[in-house]
């Protein structure tokens, strides 16, 4: 009988006991336990399985937990000395009130107290004074000082504490948007700083291990001396595959859960794989949530799903939009999406006040999973967009930028109508007219200074993605080069009639007619080469488009079959 697909599951014991498929990552427990520093910090992008791993640590190290859930896994067959040795004190800082300064302070304080309350209740059969301490919590608002009660309970029975913190920085983005609040609470005297100072103080007595996760290192560095003893293992090569799925692990999940590979019409590697957090890592990894999203739809619907990109990516788009609110970051994003990446070093430590610097902003994009390690070239690190799914976030950002460049909104409904004419009637001119009028002509003269064929192609890709009739492919490999844009029909759209191959050229506003004609002829020559690709042989559903733009608003086009 197939195992259940672990989509959306983060409770490890429940996952094992209810026969879900689990990709065994428990070998990393052994590696982490053997590290010299017992206070550990680890970051990965959203939806990479961090919460599940923390649940594994809870089940493995908790004094009251059963060994049965690990019996078939690596760590069950290779137990470590510290198994079942700790009282687990867990914190999760997602979902706090960030509407205003006072609301945040109260919400943070209550979350710490509630976590300590759950800790004392969980170990009421271990701690001799648990009931009394719980009464103390109920009678008085201790704030972050509630940590001291946990230390007292643990010290009385000589049981060490393992502190686990999930989503340590979840509230940071919203506080940053509030301006002064972030600095007030993270710097000296703030409630976040006070919490971590108390946590640090506990390491002198009963706190023997700490494991903290989040999505970027900025806040941990802004805490400075408030919490300066943790080692960040995020970029170490041996932990490259600790979160995420390798190719072999994806194949195993499909086999264990009964996913029919013949129903998968998209290139899973191109859409969901590509993450490399250290250039010396053994392999790239898939975003686990992305791939499980696809598998869940196939298992539930029995066919290739309409949505092959996780709709939860929308929250990442919002984060990207907020990060690019200043001109320098916006221009950098446009450059990244044009080139598919950027040469930059990865900065391991930085704080909020450094984000105006290009290197620090690019590093933040890396930690958020918007860029990943693409290897070295001439002594420089190439950070690339990891996969197609993330590329669509950049496209959505560009559409949003164009929308906001003027008060008049781009009509997505009208754009979709023009794309439908392309798809079903083979009529491309309504789309091209709409594109030039609503995308190119809205660009500022400042944008025009950097205008080139890559810029136009990125704008066009962004607009073409809107319809969800097509999967626009940039630089598609062809027998005779790389096509500028290949409009591949969405596998869930059965009745779409035409696909398209574009070759795009560009000339400045002051180009002569002869120069435009020469550009168009150059595009036509390249199109004829693309037609020889065996994928397009004897097909009457492919239209080839040679396109030459002039400035922001004029174009000439030649369409052939």
| CATH number for the domain that contains residue 194 | 3.40.50
Give the C-alpha separation, 111 to 147, whole Å.
11
Q: Is 294 part of any domain?
A: no
Confidence at residue 137, expressed as pLDDT on a 0 to 100 scale = 84
Q: Is 10 part of any domain?
A: no
Q: Both 333 and 421 in a single domain?
A: no
Q: Both 320 and 456 in a single domain?
A: no
Q: Of 219-233, 284-298, 320-334, which has the strongest mean pLDDT? A: 284-298
Which has the closest alpha carbon to 232: 277, 289, 190? 277
Q: Is 413 part of any domain?
A: yes
pLDDT tens track for 518-538: 999 998 999 888 888 888 888
Residues facing residue 232 across a β-bridge: 41
Confidence at residue 157, expressed as pLDDT on a 0 to 100 scale = 93
DSSP character at residue 491: T
Q: Both 425 and 467 in a single domain?
A: yes
Q: Both 89 and 49 in a single domain?
A: yes
Is there a contact between 159 and 84 (Cβ–Cβ < 8 Å)?
Answer: no
Q: Is 282 part of any domain?
A: no
Given phi > 0 = left and psi -120 to 50 = alpha, else beta, which region is 369?
A: left
Residue 279 phi/psi, 5-degree rounding, is: -60, -15
Q: Is 216 part of any domain?
A: yes
Contacts of 442 (CB under 8 A, 6+ apart): 402, 405, 406
> Would you say residue 236 has pLDDT above 90?
yes
Q: Both 364 and 415 in a single domain?
A: no
Confidence at residue 491, expressed as pLDDT on a 0 to 100 scale = 81
Q: Who has greater pLDDT, 160 or 217?
A: 160
Q: Is 462 part of any domain?
A: yes
Of the candidates 194, 210, 239, which is a domain's last residue?
239
> Would you say residue 466 has pLDDT above 90?
no
Beta strands, E only, 62-183: 87-92, 161-166
Q: Both 370 and 440 in a single domain?
A: no
Helix (H) or strand (E) holding 257: helix 247-257
Give the C-alpha separation, 206 to 194, whole Å.
18
pLDDT tens track for 84-131: 999 999 999 999 888 888 888 999 999 999 999 999 999 999 998 888
Rounded to the nearest 10 degrees, the angle between the axes of helix 388-405 and helix 327-339 is 140
Give the C-alpha separation, 22 to 3, whole Å.
9
User: Which value, to the nearest 10 degrees, does the dihedral of the CA atoms of residues 275, 278, 281, 286 take?
Assistant: -10
pLDDT tens track for 6-17: 998 999 999 999
Of the candidates 384, 419, 446, which is a domain's last residue?
384
Residue 61: which domain range?
24-239
> What number is the average pLDDT over the span 149-176?
90
> Would you say residue 552 has pLDDT above 80?
no
Q: Both 413 and 360 in a single domain?
A: no
Please, what is the end-to-end C-alpha distance for the chain in angstroms?
Answer: 50
Confidence at residue 377, expressed as pLDDT on a 0 to 100 scale = 79
Rounded to the nearest 10 degrees, the angle between the axes of helix 327-339 and helix 358-367 is 60
Q: Is 268 part of any domain?
A: no
Residue 205 phi/psi, 5-degree rounding, is: -130, -85
pLDDT tens track for 370-399: 999 998 877 788 999 999 999 888 888 888
Give the C-alpha separation, 39 to 33, whole Å.
10
Structural domains of the chain, count: 3
Q: Both 155 and 55 in a single domain?
A: yes
**Using 50, 70 and 90 to split pLDDT, how confident is the model at 447?**
low
Q: Both 533 and 485 in a single domain?
A: yes
Confidence at residue 470, expressed as pLDDT on a 0 to 100 scale = 87
Q: Is 11 part of any domain?
A: no
pLDDT tens track for 125-152: 999 888 888 888 887 778 899 999 999 9
Question: What is the residue whose two structure tokens read 């037609």?
Answer: 531
DSSP character at residue 308: -
Residues facing residue 482 across a β-bridge: 477
Q: Both 425 and 366 in a single domain?
A: no
Of the candidates 184, 205, 239, which is a domain's last residue?
239
> Could you tell me how many residues make up the chain?
561
Contacts of 209 (CB under 8 A, 6+ apart): 38, 39, 40, 61, 82, 86, 160, 161, 162, 163
> What number is the average pLDDT over the span 335-355?
84
Q: Both 436 and 539 in a single domain?
A: yes
Q: Both 368 and 459 in a single domain?
A: no
Q: What is the CA radius of gyration of the chain?
A: 27
């Amino acid at each position: 009988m197939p195992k259940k697909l672990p989509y959306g599951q983060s409770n490890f014991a429940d996952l094992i006991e209810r026969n879900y498929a689990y990709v065994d990552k428990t070998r990393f427990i052994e590696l982490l336990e053997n590290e010299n520093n017992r206070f550990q910090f680890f970051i990965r992008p959203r939806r990479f399985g961090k919460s599940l791993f923390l649940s594994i640590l809870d089940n493995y190290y908790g004094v009251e937990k059963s060994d049965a859930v690990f019996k078939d896994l690596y760590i069950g067959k290779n137990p470590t000395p510290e198994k079942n040795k700790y009282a687990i004190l867990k914190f999760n800082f997602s979902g706090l009130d960030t509407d205003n300064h006072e609301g945040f302070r109260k919400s943070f304080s209550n979350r710490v107290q509630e976590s300590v309350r759950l800790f004392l209740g969980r170990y009421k059969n271990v701690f001799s004074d648990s009931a009394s301490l719980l009464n103390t919590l109920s009678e008085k608002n201790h704030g972050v000082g509630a940590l001291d009660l946990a230390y007292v309970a643990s010290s009385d029975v000589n049981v060490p504490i393992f502190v686990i913190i999930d989503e340590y920085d979840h509230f940071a983005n919203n506080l940053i948007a509030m301006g002064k609040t972030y600095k007030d609470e993270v710097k000296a005297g703030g409630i976040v700083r006070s919490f971590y100072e108390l946590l640090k103080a506990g390491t002198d007595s009963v706190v023997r291990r700490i494991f903290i996760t989040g999505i970027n290192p900025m806040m941990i560095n802004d805490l400075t001396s408030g919490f300066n003893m943790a080692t960040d293992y995020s970029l170490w090569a041996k932990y490259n595959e600790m979160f995420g799925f390798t190719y072999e692990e994806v194949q195993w999940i499909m086999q264990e859960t009964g996913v029919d590979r013949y129903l998968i019409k998209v290139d899973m590697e191109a859409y969901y794989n590509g993450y490399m957090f250290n250039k010396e890592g053994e392999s790239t990894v898939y975003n686990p949530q992305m791939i499980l999203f696809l598998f869940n739809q196939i298992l539930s619907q029995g066919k290739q799903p309409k949505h092959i990109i996780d709709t939860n990516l929308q929250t990442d788009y919002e984060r990207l939009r907020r990060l690019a609110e200043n001109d320098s970051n916006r221009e950098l994003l446009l450059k990244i999406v044009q080139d598919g990446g950027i040469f930059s070093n990865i900065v391991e430590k930085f704080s909020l006040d450094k984000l105006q610097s290009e290197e620090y902003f690019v590093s933040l994009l890396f930690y958020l999973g918007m860029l990943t390690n693409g290897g070295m070239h001439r002594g420089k690190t190439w950070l690339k967009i990891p996969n197609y799914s993330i590329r669509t976030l950049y496209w959505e950002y560009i559409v949003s930028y164009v929308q906001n460049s003027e008060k008049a909104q781009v009509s997505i409904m009208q754009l979709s109508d023009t794309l439908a004419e392309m798809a079903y009637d083979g009529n491309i001119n309504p789309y091209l007219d709409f594109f030039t009028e609503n995308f190119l002509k809205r660009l500022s003269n400042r944008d025009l200074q950097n205008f080139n064929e890559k810029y136009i192609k990125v704008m066009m890709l962004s607009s073409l993605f809107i319809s969800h009739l097509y999967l626009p492919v940039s630089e598609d490999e062809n027998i005779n080069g790389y096509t500028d844009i290949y409009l591949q029909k969405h596998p869930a759209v059965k009745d779409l009639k035409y696909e398209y191959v574009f070759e795009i050229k560009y000339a400045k506003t002051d180009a002569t007619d002869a120069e435009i004609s020469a550009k168009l002829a150059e595009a036509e020559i390249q199109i004829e080469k693309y037609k020889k690709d065996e994928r397009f042989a004897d097909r009457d559903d492919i239209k080839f488009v040679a396109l030459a733009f002039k400035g922001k608003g004029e174009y000439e086009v030649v369409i052939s079959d």
